[in-house]
Structure 1
């Protein structure tokens, strides 16, 4: 079957690739500052519909800043702990504010966004440690904040945030103090070895490029030999793993991370769903003004998945 990218996205992507080529021609090296500014600028420029949320509160779990979105503060709602994307180097709860608002409204969950520490200043496993700390202390923290909630915690993330979410689900298998209801992975990064076919097939000219992913991982890991064992795709999955929704896109170097992970979950008897978007690139939720219908469909799919009663 012939692959075809979305028409509106193709026009935008052509212009983006021209700008990227011009920037690369200057010889200015990629840096954490440049990566952070790039993600923030694109998201702020292309996710301009900022919905109202009845309650938004900033706080912290020890040293980790959090932002809580409650769409109906007078009603107890289930919780979605969310970890943003950005290659473990970029992104923040501020940059992802519009995405988290939309997740809260669409899913009717209390979204708790985690501002985990970033590389290279804080390399692996700092972000994992921050996420695990927040999982452990999430409900007591919401009690202290007098948040009206149901004690049902799901976890989600996009790209690098998906890697963190999947890693935390793996760790939670060994900790009976933590119960994760469901997991939502949006074009997740799950193989730090970059050994799957889509890293080559989709490695250039589709927004996220494989050489940039490699650079991200070089910032994240001080010991590159840790990349295999840290990859959720290659970690053990137990029978009590939470029900999982994996969202992938066709024109994404991480496409096969999600596909292979979904297959692995199914083979292990885990309840899993795979939602594949055939004409999109990585991180298209951050490009919403270009592809608004596709973004809305993803939020609706997440809502449907979280609303299903997994008996």
Structure 2
């Protein structure tokens, strides 16, 4: 069923849809530069984040490159859990800078030290480069916190493609895929997550036009990420994206307690709902909430839907508090 959008978003969507139609009329295709600029333009609507006790830019060094991170500590004198934050942006866009207010609000809501990761982006660095960066941070994050007080409790959080990263890390570090480098993740927080690269959920078509994130752009994002001509048309490529899709992997009871938040007017709505259902079916403690009138990326539109954004942070804070002993 197609979502019914909140009146709060109607004027914004009318402007966005006019701009999208004008762009399509030019006959030009998407480009990394254009989509990155488009997402960065939403920074005007994100709003300011709260002050932190400590904000620190740092990086992890690998044999081939550095992985930049930004660390947010809301209470330097307290012993806090750690939350690894993976931003959204279709695996092509987004940054620590764009998501700075969101990282700050997450730190305040969860009372945790937040480490936001500037992982590598496609098409310059296709799959699995960005995911590999995030696994590296997952394994080595404690080395970034040598001067801070922290507990062993570990959360991960992400929206959209950041949700894909979270769920991929969970899949790769669960009992099904466990290796000597696997890390125990206590909780994951997913906001309108991307968890199925095959694009077969009904909402991909039902909400695939007119709600900011459109089906053709989702497909183009995935083509850049996986470096393939057309998602799903080549058998080898299809096998690759199926294997990479967390929703299509094997679920196990040792996966972390999970919060899933979906948006009713989002093309990715149904895959997020299905992911929560799959966790519940294997006995994982999971909570799911839907913001029915919201579109994909509504957390970047704080100035337009501040009440819904505030409610989202409250749900995240309550989830962490209620399940603090899990």
Q: TM-score range by the shorter chain?
A: over 0.9
Structure 2 SS opposite 1:297: helix
Tell me what 2:21 maps to.
21
Is the CA contact 2:2–2:265 (under 8 Å) kept in the aligned structure 1? Answer: no
Cα offsets for 1:180-218 (capped at 9, x unmatched): 110001000000000110001001000100110000000
Assess, with a 3 A threshold, how the Cα gap between structure 1 residues 83 and 242 changes in structure 2: closer, same or farther.
same
Q: How far apart are residue 24 of structure 1 and its match?
A: 2.3
Answer with 62-71 or 50-59: which moved more. Answer: 50-59
* TM superposition shift of 1:3: 5.0
Q: Distance in 2 between matches of 1:287 and 1:3?
A: 18
**What residue in structure 1 maps to residue 172 of structure 2?**
171
Q: How far apart, CA to CA, are the structure 1 residues paired with 2:48 and 2:133?
A: 30
CA distance in 2, matches of 1:90, 1:97: 14
Shift of 1:131: 0.7
- TM-score, normalized by length of structure 1? 0.96
- 1:281 paired to 2:295: yes
SS, match of residue 57 in structure 1? strand
Q: Which residue of 2 aligns with 1:229?
A: 243
Q: What corresponds to 1:53 in structure 2?
A: 52
2:279–2:286 Cα contact (<8 Å) kept: yes
Cα distance 1:20–1:3, how it changes in 2: closer, same or farther (>3 A)?
closer
Q: Aligned partners of 1:3 and 1:129: how far apart in 2?
A: 35
1:141 to 129, 144, 164: 144
In the alignment, what sits opposite 2:75? 72
Q: How well do the aligned residues superpose, as a CA RMSD in angstroms?
A: 1.4
How far off its partner does 1:47 sit? 1.2
Determine if the alignment matches structure 1 residue 153 to structure 2 residue 185: no
Q: How many residues align?
A: 308
In the alignment, which residue of structure 2 is the partner of 1:239?
253
Aligned equivalents of 1:16, 1:128: Cα separation in 2: 30
* Aligned equivalents of 2:59, 2:143: Cα separation in 1: 12
Residue equivalent to 2:202 = 197
Q: Is the 8 A contact 2:264 2:290 kept in 1?
A: yes
SS in structure 2 opposite 1:157? strand
2:215 aligned partner? 210
289-298 or 71-80: bigger deviation = 71-80
CA drift of 1:2 comes to 9.1
Q: Secondary structure at the match of 2:188?
A: strand
Asked if 1:297 is matched to 2:298, the reply is: no
- Are the counterparts in 2 of residues 139 and 151 from structure 1 also a CA contact under 8 Å? no
Displacement, 1:4?
A: 3.0
String of CA shifts for 1:230-272, please: whole Å, max 9, x gaps: 0000011111100000110110000011010011001111110
2:40 maps to 40
Give unmatched runs, 5+ long, in structure 1: none
- Distance in 1 (alpha carbons) for counterparts of 2:242 and 2:223: 13
Worse-superposed segment, 229-238 or 23-32: 23-32
Q: Which runs of 4+ in 1 moved over 6 A?
A: none
Runs of 5+ consecutive residues of structure 2 not aligned to the other structure: 229-236
Three-state SS of the structure 1 residue aligned to 2:158 is: strand
1:185 to 178, 185, 190: 190
Find the residue that maps to 1:119 and give its secondary structure.
Answer: coil
CA distance in structure 2 between the partners assigned to 1:208 and 1:112 by the alignment: 27
Instruction: Report the more deviating stretch, 131-140 or 25-34.
Output: 25-34
Contact 2:13–2:212 under 8 Å retained in 1: yes
CA distance in 2, matches of 1:15, 1:289: 16
1 CA distance for matches of 2:31 and 2:72? 31
Question: Using the alignment, how far apart are the partners of 1:31 and 1:166 within structure 2?
Answer: 27
In the alignment, which residue of structure 2 is the partner of 1:123? 126
